[in-house]
Amino acid sequence: MRVPRLLAFSAGAAAVLAGTLLPAGTAAAAGQNYVALGDSYSAGVGAGSYDSSSGSCSRSTKAYPQLWANANAPASFKFVACSGATTGSVTSGQLSALTSTTSLASITVGGNDAGFSSVMQTCVLSSDSACVTAVNNAKAYAQNTLPGKLDALYSAMRGKAPSAHFVVLGYPHLYYLNSGFCIGLSNTKRTALNSAADALDSTISSASSRAGFTFSDVRPIFNTHELCSGDDWLNSVTYPIGNSYHPTALGQSSGYLPGFKNGVASALRVAAKS
Q: Catalytic: 246?
A: yes
| Residue 95 and residue 42 in contact, taking contact as beta carbons nearer than 8 Å | no
Q: Catalytic: 40?
A: yes
Catalytic residue (one of 40, 60, 216, 244): 40
Q: Position 209: which residue type?
A: S
DSSP state of 60: B
Q: From its phi and psi, is residue 240 left (phi > 0), alpha (psi between -120 and 50) or beta? A: beta
Q: Position 104: which residue type?
A: L
Q: Is 59 exposed, middle or buried (0-12, 13-18, 19+ CB in 10 A)?
A: buried
* Beta strand ranges found along 21-159 (DSSP E): 33-36, 76-79, 104-107
Q: From its phi and psi, is residue 225 left (phi > 0), alpha (psi between -120 and 50) or beta? A: alpha
Cα separations in angstroms, 4 against 11, 17, 50: 10, 20, 52
Q: Position 221: which residue type?
A: I
Catalytic residue (one of 165, 173, 225, 246): 246
SS3 61: coil
Q: List the catalytic residues.
A: 40, 246
